[in-house]
Every structure is written in C-alpha cells, then in structure tokens.
Structure 1
Amino acid sequence: METTARHDAVDLDQPFAAVPDLIAHWARHRPDHPALVQGERMLSFAELDTYMSKVAAALQRDGAKPDDALAICAYNSIDYAAVFLGALRAGLAVAPLAPSASPDSLLTMLADASPRLVFLDAHAAEHLKRVSSQLPCPFLRLDQSSTLADWLSDAAPEPIEIQPEWAFNIIYSSGTTGEPKGIVQSHAMRWSHVRRSAAYGYADNATTLISTPLYSNTTLVAFLPTLALGGTVVLMQKFEAGEYLTLAQQHAVTHTMLVPVQYQRIMAREDFARFDLRSFRYKMCTSAPFGAALKADVLARWPGGLIDTYGMTEGGGTCILAAHEHPDKLHTVGKPAEGHDIRVIDDAGHELPEGAIGEIVGHSPAMMTGYLNKPEKTAEAEWFDPSGKRFIRTGDVGRFDAEGFLTLLDRKKDMIISGGFNLYPSDLEAILRKHPAIADVAVVGVPSTRWGETPVAFVVPAATETPEAMLSWFNDRVGKTQRLARLELIDELPRSAIGKVLKRELRDQYTVEYGAAD
C-alpha cells in the first residue's frame, strides 16, 4: 500500500465533498482505472463518469430537479450502481428498495418516497407484476439494455452544486414486517463515512468485494468510500461462499463487508484453506451480532485485520472493534468511534453509570435527518441530554465495561419479561451454542398464561439429538427463571437479506401453532 500522498489524492480535510464529484475527480486523474467489475464486464472511472452524466441528463430532460427522488428495486449490477450514482449527480435522492419485500410493502414504500421513476430488474418486475397497475410512477427495466439506452441522454447535464444537507438516499428500515420507515441520510453523512474509511486502508489501490445488496446501508458504507477514494468495486449479484472466495483470490481483494452469517458459511467450507487471501487488508462486519468464537476463527485463519462495526442505519453513534488488536474483547462491539458520543439510559431517559444495563443512544456527525414523512416516528427515535444535544435511540440494550468497551445484550423489544424478571435472549443463546448438536439458535419470548412471557428456543441442529434432550441439557445449567418452556427444531432460521434473524416471524409462528405457553 502506498504510504506517500499522491498529487491527485482526495483532500479529506475539506469540510465537504460530494460522492459524484469525487468520481468525476478520478475520471479526470485515472480515467482507465477499473471502477466497477461484475463478471466479464468492467467500467473504468471515465466510463462510469460518462454513464452517470447520461443518467443525470436524462432525468433533467424529463423535468427532475434536486429534492426529487428516484427508486431502484433490483439485485446488484453495474447498471444499478451507475443509475444510483447518476441520480445523485442530478441532485436526486435515491430510494433503494429490497426486492425481497412483499409487493404491498413495496407499494407502500413507493407511495412514501414519491419517486419520479422506479428502475426494476427482471426479478422485481415479475415480483410486482400483480400490482404493476398500482405503481405510483413510471418504471424502466435495468436489465433491458436497449430500453435503458433509449432513455439515457447524450446531452451534457446541467451542473448541480450538491449541498451537504441534501438527501442522499432514503433507506427503508422494514419491508417484510412492520410499517416501512424511510430513513433520510444526507450527503454530509456519506462524506463523513468516506473520511472515516481512509483509516482502514481504503485508497486508490483498494479493491472491495461487495456481496451484500446495494439497497442496504451495510453495503453502502463500503461501496461508496471505495469509489470516492479511487478504488475498484467487484460486485456479486448474490452471495455464494465458494464464488466469493474464488473472486477474492482472482481480484486480489483488499476489503470486504460481510454479515456474520456470511462469515459463518465461508469459514465452514472444507476448502477454505486452499484460497490465497493474503491480499486482504481489512474485513468488515456489521448488521447483526458477530459471535466471539466466529471472530476468533476468522482472526486465526483469514489474513488481514477484522473490524466489527456497531451502529444503525439511522446513524447516531458507531462503535468499532479492531478485533485483531483486542483479542480479549471479542465479546464486545468495541469503543465509540472518534467524535461519536454513546451513552446508556434507563426507561425514564436518565443517563446510567458505567456497568449499568440500559438502552444505547448515540450522537455523531453521521445521523439521519429523520424518517421521511413521519415526524412523530422521528421524535420517538430521538433523545436529548440536559444540554439539548440530540441523540438517536438504538432500541438496543447494553453496558460499558471499565475500559470503555460496549457489550450488546439484546434488542430492547426482544427482552423477555418473565414473572417480573428481565431475561436477555443473547445470554440464553450463548449457553445453547455450547451444545455440540446445535449449529444455530434463536430464543424468543412467547405469551405465557402463567408468567406473562416465557422463553422458547428455535434450534438448527448440527447432529442428531432429540429436542427433549437438548431442553433438559439447557435447563439443568440455568436458574429457574431462565428455563426454556420449549425447544423447537428448525431447518434454518429466518433471516433478512443482510443476515438479521427475524425473531418476529419465529414468535408469530409459535403463537399461530401453539397459542400461549403454560
């Protein structure tokens, strides 16, 4: 890695720079350097910059203006990335939508975002076929090159001076369950991510392998800094562990962002050791709890540093654990990032001392503007300290240790109150994972006629063992208040596209099948 500053390096000390302008910078200084790679297709920075301008000019021709929105519902592709970035150049906010969301949820999101246009791939077009007449805006197909080419404009786009406070994207926090909430993030927030990423080796000689979806903030915090700092992004349409390792070796990948379930699948491959992964500088993880044992395995067998990042799409505060530097703190999510203020509060909103358990709130330069069209939901997500400083509530429960490392316990809504006692599912899951016949597990609280709520475990087995024997093994090791009411075997835990266990689905599944527990 280069250690001296290049004459064309991005000035990270400037107050603000917009991502589309940074890509134009690299198109001038490194026009032939690969920006986006997928399969046999490659776009250089000059080609990407031209593509973005064609998108921006087409949107302006059609009457789009700053503060308008554009939506994309598709799997990862070079065209997806270029349309996203081109819309930003025209000053539009982009609403990237999950193709896995139900058609009704997608209609709700589109109605909320009010985009001028929505781009779909073949999968999304088929998925929305039943409700296509109800789409609130025109749509274009990303995967039909002639249709897309006819829409693009060869005219030079009108220059737009992007302002830091303008909306960069609208990311929806829910699309499978619950009411979707549009999280508005600004260009200033994205610039703060770019500046922060330089500390982890993102530079013009970095190559980042992206296997998580572009509609996720998890992906964007690695995807955008790579391009903004002149590096190369290798895109996977969908994750598959073997293909991931092949691409990592082929492209001498230096950076990646993966969620824990992806690390788990990669490390479980019997042929893992045959791949040459020595090019890696840093591997990142976020979005879901990353078990200490899995972190240790990655550290032992996968070259390069390992960074576990804790935060929310809404922003607020970020904790960072450089796992390779703190092998004794793998059970934590690290310390607050520089310039981030993270605290723990009680149910009454009072700040708690070190070691006390409470809800985590955070303040940072990277905070959402708010939830789109939902001022009351925005207010619910905010907490203000006595000085009036604004924090974002995470909904997570945790505690700081004496050295300032944060340990996560659970989502506040997932905490189980059984007979007046607070039970944290993560504590119970940690014990269950010690059983040799358990590959994966999730504990949820279900209604109980006797206790109000009671814990039930859903277990993915690793070996043949009866649920009764597993239940007895666990209940013999815990106190009376922590005992499981039931243990269910399941082939696979339901997860979101970025690896979060959908505990509500498990809870609902149990209630529908059994009703209340005793």
Structure 2
Amino acid sequence: MSLPASATAPAPFRDLPSLVAEHARQRPQATALVVGAQRLSYAALDALADRVAAGLQRDGLQPGERVAVCATSSPAYVAVFLGTLRAGGAVAPLAPSSTADQLVGMAVDADARRFFLDAGVAEALAAAGVAVPADLPVTRLEALDTWLPPEGTQPTPVAIDPAWPFNLIYSSGTTGTPKGIVQSHGMRWGHILRAAMSGYAPDCVTLIATPLYSNTTLVSVIPTLAWGGCVILMPKFDALAYLQTAERERVTHTMLVPVQYQRLMARPEFDSFDLGSYRMKFCTSAPFHADLKADVLKRWPGGLTEYYGMTEGGGTCMLQAHLHPTKLHTVGQPADGHDIRLIDEQGRVVAKGEAGEVVGRSPAMMTGYHKQPAKTAEAEWYDGDGNRFIRTGDIGRFDADGFLVLFDRRKDMVISGGFNIYPSDLEAVLRQHPAVADCAVVGVPSAEWGETPVAYVVRRDGASASEEDIRGWMNSQVGKTQRLSGLRFTDELPRSAIGKVLKRELREAWR
C-alpha cells in the first residue's frame, strides 16, 4: 500500500474505492466489516461494491450525481456507499430519525437518482402516508440482490477527481429543507492522511456505535477501510454489549460521543473487562467534560483524542488528552496544517488572549451547502490575503500555550446524544400551534443525552392548552432526536435592550 507513514508527508491523492480494491487484491481474506453475526472479507466487500457500481451505471448514474441512503448500519449499506463512490457518484446518507417529510425532502433536495432504504424506513414512510416521488427509484436494502447485476459484474472504471463530491451530509432542520453539506473526495483524503498519526493500520480494529449518516462515524470508518483495517458496526449502542465486543474482538480504535463514554464508565463491571488492546479512543460532536476525560484516562488503556470541529470542515483542534492531562478543560490545539483564528463581530482578528468567534481553514473543508450559495457565503470568512475560512459560530479563547478554550455557541445549537439540534427550527414549529404567542428553545444538561432541548412558551390570551398538550403536539411534528424533553409556560421571555431573547437566563432558570 502506498499511503505515507506520516499524516504530514506529501502524497498523491488516492480515492477510497481504489484503496479498498487494493486491499482486496493484496489481502483478500482479511476481514473488512463486521455487523452482528455477519463478517465480510475485503474480497467480498470489494466484489459487492463492484456490483453496486455496475448496477448504478446500468441505470444511468453519471459521475457527480447523488444517491440517497437511509437505513440502520448493515453490510449492504456500506457496500452501497462504496459502490456509489466507485461509480463516480456521491452519497447522501439520511437520518432514519428524521420525519417522513424531512426524509423525502432531503432526498429530493439532493437530486438523488436512486433511494436505498431498509424495512424500518419504508414502514415509517408508509405509516406517515408520505410517498417517495414517482421519478425517484427506490431499492430496499434487504432485497438488494434482486436489483444487483450478476456476481462478477465489473463496473466501467471511473477516474475520481479529488474535487468531486464524496457525500452530502444534511444538517438538522424542521422548516424548509435542511442544508446539505458537500464534502469532497479531497476532504476525505485529508482525513485518511491525518489518521496515520493515530495508529490506523492493516491490523487495526475499529468499533463504531454511532450511525453511518453521521460525520462522527465516517471520520473513523473511512480511514479504517482506507488503511485496510476492520470496522465493527453496532446498529444500536448498548454499553454492556460494547464492552463485551471490545474485549472479544481485541478492538484497537473507537469513536464515541461524550454521552456514550459517560454510560460506559458508569457500568459497574467496566473495570473487569480487558481493554488492553486499545491504541486510541476518539471523541467529538458534543462538550466533553474534563472530569469525564480524566476518568477515561485513568481507567481505560490507550490514548484519548478529542476532536473539535464541524461537519462543514475548516479548522480542527485536537486534544491528545493522554499527553496533556492538565489541559482537559480545553479542546486542544490546531491540528497540523490547520489555521484557527478568532474574529470579532466586525470580522477582525482579535488581539492575543482575547475571545472571539472561531474560524478555521485546512485541507478538509466543505465545498459548500448544496444549492444554497447564500448560506454558504454566511458560513465563510476571508482573511486579508483572500484565504477562505469556515465560521463555527462558537466563541473561544486561546490560552498562553495555544490551547483553545470554548465559552459559548453563538448559534445556540443544542447537541443531544452527539446530534446537532437547532433551536430556531424548533421554535418555528412551536409557533405554528394556535395557543403559542411566543417561545424560546434552549439546551439544558441531561444525564442521558448530555444536553436536551426544552421550551419556554408564552400562551395566547384565552388559550386553554396545557403544557403537556403543546409538548405532545410539538413532538409529533419533529424527528426523534429533536423532541422536547420539557416545556414550561412563562408570562414573558427575558430580552435585551435590542429585543434579543436572553437564552442564558432561560437555561439557568430551568435548574
């Protein structure tokens, strides 16, 4: 294999499908994928991806066109993902927890040429009475064999350009169409190179318990397959089953969100498991509290790296907690080759030691939001030399050693169980209820999810709906991850002199 030994070493671009094919030629019987009792070798995964690619080409898929997938983790899902890339297409992985209208809306927004889904998603669409447009062909993953061309079928080779889209990952949203974040093959190649620093190699075993539509998952699955390791996917996270699998399979790498670490460390039998095979553990997607990091470092063998960044890409900070145990209150330092700066409200770089909005630039940056140039422009900042940065909306400050300390999220995004929830989207839905005159949604601490969204509502004069009436209606309108865990009535919302709702006061008042 021709990948470099260092994440900073120059290397010609390689695409993921060709790397998987190379492993299939060199180590055909090596295990590539494990899902439950199913185990696929690199030869089997590569052959299945070939058939998917050939089937898509047979049906007219052209390079750069999209394929939507919505399902729980399975070998068929991974094969469809790889096969789409091999045909030159891009994948739009959609969240099964979305509402039926959201799912179809995202597939349509992606201009998908085919929609792969599983039985659970099909049943949810049918129960909601939402139909997929007639001009969007649907393939059920459990019946994939009936759609695939015969075994041994080879696709027409496609030379993948690093600028081509690799995937569209959709942000959360309940009004209009969520933003499709376009990530290129070149961006994913950057992730593959960076993974070299963390011990990814042909003998690595990566255990994943987050869904395949999440960028959190893909930043570990993609490098593992690129380096020829084994990916173990858990369709649903269970702390005890995770520990049993980790010990049995001699897992070396994992990516978990903070609430998963919390649940694992709380298991009374945690210390009885042999986890000595671990080389590196990763965490991202939500605030990772210092005391929890310290507990992981103390009781779980192997290194611990926290990533701070966005699905949109831009700058990433890395905290190698095992090397910097006195910096657990930070999210680390900018990764190699990543330029992180702090700017004020006027877009000027702040003075050293001052707080500002975090913006970042790196080889791993989104192309933009799909079909939303105005939203793309809002997410960008350019320095005096015309270099493009991605705005995070987060407020932070660098300490004297160059470690980033985060203070608040300007966008007031709620991160629940590792998933991003935008309060403005939920507020727009709440305001549709006839009893709601005004409202605000904030995130509050949750032992189960890390954070959870709650709402304050000002009732219209004469309205008789109860708090539970409105919350029940609201939760029937949104996806599972967006449901409110609480709702309280208030006479008025606290506001600043310019009319901005003071959400910090609302969060504090919930306690």
Which TM-score band applies after superposition, normalised by the shorter structure? 0.7 to 0.9
Separation (CA, whole Å) in 2 of partners of 1:331 and 1:214: 29
Q: Aligned residue for 1:115?
A: 112
What is the deviation of 1:414? 2.4
1:101 matched residue in structure 2: 98
Which residue of the partner structure matches residue 298 of structure 2? 300
Task: Report the CA distance shift for 1:244/1:349 in structure 2 as closer, same or farther (over 3 A).
Answer: same
Please list, as runs of the form range in 1=range in 2, the aligned pairs for 1:416-427 lying within 5 A after superposition: none
Kept after mapping to 1: 8 A contact 2:110/2:180 = yes
Q: State the TM-score, normalizing by the size of structure 1.
A: 0.80
**Partner secondary structure for residue 383 of structure 1:** strand
Q: 1:132: Cα distance to partner?
A: 2.0
How far the C-alpha of 1:39 sits from its partner, in A, is: 1.7
The alignment partner of 2:236 has SS state of: coil
- Counterpart of 1:189 in structure 2: which amino acid? M
**1:90 aligns with one of 66, 87, 91:** 87
SS in 2 for 1:117: strand
Residues 102 and 174 in structure 2, CA contact (< 8 A), matched pair in contact too: yes
The structure with higher relative contact order (CA 8 Å, sep 6+) is: 2
CA distance in 2, matches of 1:82, 1:453: 44
**Contact kept in structure 1, 2:53 and 2:83, CA below 8 Å:** yes
Output the CA distance in 2 between the equivalents of 1:461 and 1:81.
32
Which AA in structure 2 matches 1:291?
H
Query: Equivalents in 1 of 2:231, 2:355: separation in Å?
Result: 40
SS at match of 1:37: strand
Once residues 176 and 275 of structure 2 are traced to their aligned partners in structure 1, the CA distance between those partners, rounded to angstroms, is: 40
Match of 1:29 in 2: 26
1:10 Cα deviation after fit: 2.9
Identity within the alignment, %:
56
1:449 equivalent in structure 2: none
Q: After superposition, what is the alpha-carbon deviation per residue over 1:364-422, rounded to whole angstroms, capped at 9, x for unaligned?
A: 0000000000000000000001111100000111111111000111210229xxxxxxx
State the alpha-carbon separation in 2 of the partners of residues 135 and 396 from structure 1.
Answer: 42
Structure 2: how far apart are the matches of 1:516 and 1:305? 49
Instruction: Decide whether aligned partners of structure 1 residues 459 and 390 sit closer, same or farther in structure 2, where only a CA change above 3 A counts.
Output: closer
1:334 aligned partner: 332
Q: Identify which of 32, 40, 43 aligns with 2:40.
A: 43
TM-score normalised by L of structure 2: 0.81
Name which of 3, 18, 23 aligns with 1:10.
Answer: 3
CA contact (8 A) 2:206 2:252 kept: yes
Task: State the SS of the aligned residue for 1:116.
Answer: strand
- 2:451 is aligned to none
Residue 166 of structure 1: aligned partner: 164
CA RMSD of aligned residues (A): 2.7
Q: Is the 8 A contact 2:104 2:132 kept in 1?
A: no
Summarize deviations over 1:200-246 as a string: whole Å, max 9, x none: 00000100001111101111110000000010001111111111111
Contact 1:207 1:252 in 2 (8 A): yes
Q: Partner residue of 1:139?
A: 138
Among 406, 409, 412, the alignment partner of 1:411 is: 409
Distance change in 2, residues 1:177/1:232 (3 Å): farther
* Equivalent residue for 1:514, pick from 469, 486, 490: 490
CA–CA separation in structure 1 for the residues paired with 2:310 and 2:250: 30
User: Counterpart amino acid of 2:295?
Assistant: D
- Conserved 8 A contact 1:217-1:313: yes
On the 8 A contact 2:32/2:40 being kept in 1, the answer is yes
For the 8 Å contact 1:211–1:235, the answer to whether it is kept is: yes
1:317 aligns with 2:324: no
Query: Pick from 358, 365, 385: which aligns with 1:367?
Result: 365
| In 1, Cα distance between equivalents of 2:440 and 2:186 | 45
- What residue ranges of structure 1 are gaps of 5+ in the alignment? 1-7, 416-424, 427-441, 447-451, 463-489
How far has the Cα of 1:43 moved from its partner?
A: 0.8
Q: Give the C-alpha shift of residue 127 in structure 1.
A: 1.4
CA contact (8 A) 2:239 2:260 kept: yes
Listed as ranges, the gaps of 5+ residues in structure 2 are 416-420, 428-437, 449-470, 495-511
Contact persistence 1:57–1:154 (CA under 8 A): no
Match of 1:419 in 2: none
Structure 2 CA distance, aligned partners of 1:60 and 1:216? 26
Per the alignment, do residues 412 and 66 of structure 1 end up closer, same or farther by CA in structure 2, a change over 3 Å counting? same
Relative distance call for 1:31 and 1:354 in structure 2 (3 A) is same
Structure 2 vs 1, CA of residues 357 and 251 (structure 1 numbering), >3 Å: closer, same or farther?
same
How many Å apart are 1:354 and its aligned residue?
Answer: 2.4
| Matched AA of 2:333 | K
Q: What CA deviation, in whole Å up to 9, does each residue of 1:115-173 have, x standing for no partner?
A: 11011011111111121254651111112355355x56642210100011000000001
The alignment partner of 1:36 has SS state of strand
Q: Which residue of 2 is the match for residue 73 of structure 1?
A: 70
Deviations 1:316-352 (A, max 9, x none): 0000000000010000000000010001111111111
Q: Which amino acid aligns with 1:233?
A: V
Could you tell me which residue of structure 1 aligns to residue 275 of structure 2? 277
Tell me the distance in 2 between the aligned counterparts of 1:168 and 1:515. Answer: 49
**Kept after mapping to 1: 8 A contact 2:109/2:177:** no
Structure 2 CA distance for partners of 1:461 and 1:262, relative to 1, 3 Å = closer
